[in-house]
Amino acid sequence: MTSATPLGPVLGLETSCDETAAAVVERGRVLGQSVATQIPIHRRFGGVVPEVAARNHLMTVLPTIEAALAQACVAPQALGGIAVTARPGLIGALLVGVQTANALAWAWHKPVIGVDHTAAHVWSAMLRPPGLDADDWPRPRLPFAALAVSGGHTSLYRVNGPAELVLLGRTLDDAAGEAFDKFGKLIGLPYPAGPEVDRLAAQGRVGQVRLPRGMLGRSDGAYSFSGLKTAVRMHVASQYASGALPTGAERANLCADFQAAVVEQLLRVTLDSVRRHRLRDLVVAGGVAANCGLRAGFAEACARARVRFWPVAPAYCGDNGAMVACLGEALLRAGHRDDPFTLDAQATGEVRRAATVPAAGAP
Ligand code: KG4
Ligand code: ZN
Its domain, for residue 271, covers 144-312
Say if 18 falls within a structural domain.
yes
User: What is the domain-level CATH number for residue 64?
Assistant: 3.30.420.40
- Does any ligand 1 atom lie closer than 6 A to the CB of residue 314? no
Q: Are residues 166 and 307 in the same domain?
A: yes
Residue 245 Cα, ligand 2 centroid: separation in angstroms?
Answer: 30
In a domain, 124, yes or no: yes
Encode the chain (363 residues) as per-residue pLDDT tens digits. 444 557 999 999 999 999 999 999 999 999 999 999 999 999 999 889 999 999 999 999 999 999 999 999 999 999 999 999 999 999 999 999 999 999 999 999 999 999 999 999 999 999 999 999 888 999 999 999 999 999 999 999 999 999 999 999 999 999 999 999 999 999 999 999 999 999 999 999 999 998 998 877 788 999 999 999 999 999 999 988 777 899 999 999 999 999 999 999 999 999 999 999 999 999 999 999 999 999 999 999 999 999 999 999 999 999 999 999 999 999 999 999 999 999 999 998 766 543 333 333 333
311 lines ligand 1 (CB under 6 A): no
- In short, whether 192's Cβ falls inside 6 Å of ligand 1 is yes
Quote the pTM value: 0.94
Ligand 1: does its nearest atom lie under 6 Å from the Cβ of 288? Answer: yes
pLDDT for residue 210: 87
Please tell me the total count of domains within the chain.
2
For residue 196, give the ligand nearest its CA: 1
Indicate if 292 and 325 belong to the same structural domain. Answer: no
Please report whether residue 207 resides in a domain: yes
Ligand 1 near 181 CB (within 6 A) = yes
In a domain, 2, yes or no: no
Is 157 among the domain residues? Answer: yes
Residue 109 Cα to ligand 1 midpoint, Å, equals 36
Q: Are 48 and 94 in contact (CB under 8 A)?
A: no
Q: How far is the CA of 16 from the centre of ligand 2 (A)?
A: 8
152 lines ligand 1 (CB under 6 A): yes
Residues 168, 105, single domain; the answer is no
Note whether 176 and 107 are same-domain residues: no
Same-domain check for residues 192 and 122: no
